[in-house]
Amino acid sequence: MSLYNFILLNLIWIGIALIIFFSLVIFNIRAPYGRHSTDKWGKMIPNHWGWFWMELPAFLIFPILVLVGPREKDWLTYLLFGLWTLHYLNRTVIFPFRLRTRGKKMPLTIVFSAIFFNGMNGFLNGYYLGHLAPEDQSGITINVIIGLALFFGGMYINYGTDSRLIALRKKKAGYSIPRGWFFRWVSCPNHFGELVEWIGFAVVAWSLPAITFAVWTFCNLVPRALNHHAWYHENFEEYPSQRKAIIPWLW
């Protein structure tokens, strides 16, 4: 694929993300997974297997394209390879089987759409690093340091929130109001943490496909967080009014 066509593909993919984002927000569409799960969207499969199959394409496609690509690998390539693999090792293999949602299911339509989403983002970033990226000769720069701080800070928030939500579900049969931690500021610290992660990844990579993925992460997670936030207010009269949905003090 030529660089021109690759850039065009990224821009089209960003355009699709923005269309989906505004459609979800304007029409208040709630994706049927987790607490919003419904069989009206078709055949269902167990939640943990749904998460596994959804995340698997990104876990496999990115590293394969990076390693088999003809471009000579440099230190930045291996750094980005490690960051990506670390995140998706957790999301594909560890997180789904930590869930304590017995009987919870998600529609196959959501699983297949997420497979396409993760496969495309894995392809764009993996193909770029395996085929098109210029060799980095600059050494560790300020953007790498800032990006790593954002990535690991976001991962810490994301993983810590998942652990607290899983522990909360273990203690109580149904949903309840999570308190403490980053829940003091937002309803969905896990989504906030993941958004910060991929912004950090984009800052480290300093490339169009990494920015494309960060845009898609924003367009995907913000509507989900807004839906969760609205659900909490609908189901708990005492839900803290000062909390935002995903971005502290702002949104």
Q: Helices 108-127 and 208-235 sit at what angle, rounded to 10 degrees?
A: 150
Please write the tens of the pLDDT for every residue from 216-228.
999 999 999 999 9
The answer to whether 233 and 175 have CB atoms below 8 angstroms apart is no
Which long-range contacts link 67-70 to residues 24+ away (Cβ below 8 Å)? Answer: 67/130, 68/130, 69/126, 69/127, 69/129, 69/130, 69/131, 70/130, 70/131
CB atoms under 10 Å from CB of 104, counted, come to 17
One-letter identity of residue 61: I
Please write the tens of the pLDDT for every residue from 123-167.
999 999 999 998 876 778 899 999 999 999 999 999 999 989 888
Q: If you average pLDDT over every residue of the chain, what do you get?
A: 90
Residue 100 reports pLDDT greater than 80: no
178 CB-near residues (< 8 Å, 6+ apart) = 164, 165, 168
Q: Give the DSSP per-residue string, 149-196.
A: HHHHHHHHHHHHHHHHHHHHHHH-SS-----SGGGGTBS-HHHHHHHH
Q: Which two tokens stand for residue 115?
A: 């497979």
Please name the helix (run of DSSP H) or strand (run of DSSP E) that holds residue 107, with its range, or none: strand 105-107
Q: How far apart are CA 96 and CA 245, in angstroms?
A: 23
Q: What are phi and psi of 176, to 5 degrees?
A: -145, 175
Instruction: Return the pLDDT at 89.
Output: 95
The answer to whether 224 and 24 have CB atoms below 8 angstroms apart is no
Please write the tens of the pLDDT for every residue from 185-210.
999 999 999 999 999 999 999 999 99
Residue 34 reports pLDDT greater than 70: no
Instruction: Return the pLDDT at 136.
Output: 72
pTM above 0.85, yes or no: yes
122: buried, middle or exposed (CB in 10 Å: 19+, 13-18, 0-12)?
buried
Confidence of residue 40 (pLDDT cuts 50, 70, 90): low
Q: How far apart are CA 213 and CA 129, in angstroms?
A: 14
CB atoms under 10 Å from CB of 203, counted, come to 21
Q: How far apart are CA 244 and CA 223, in angstroms?
A: 13
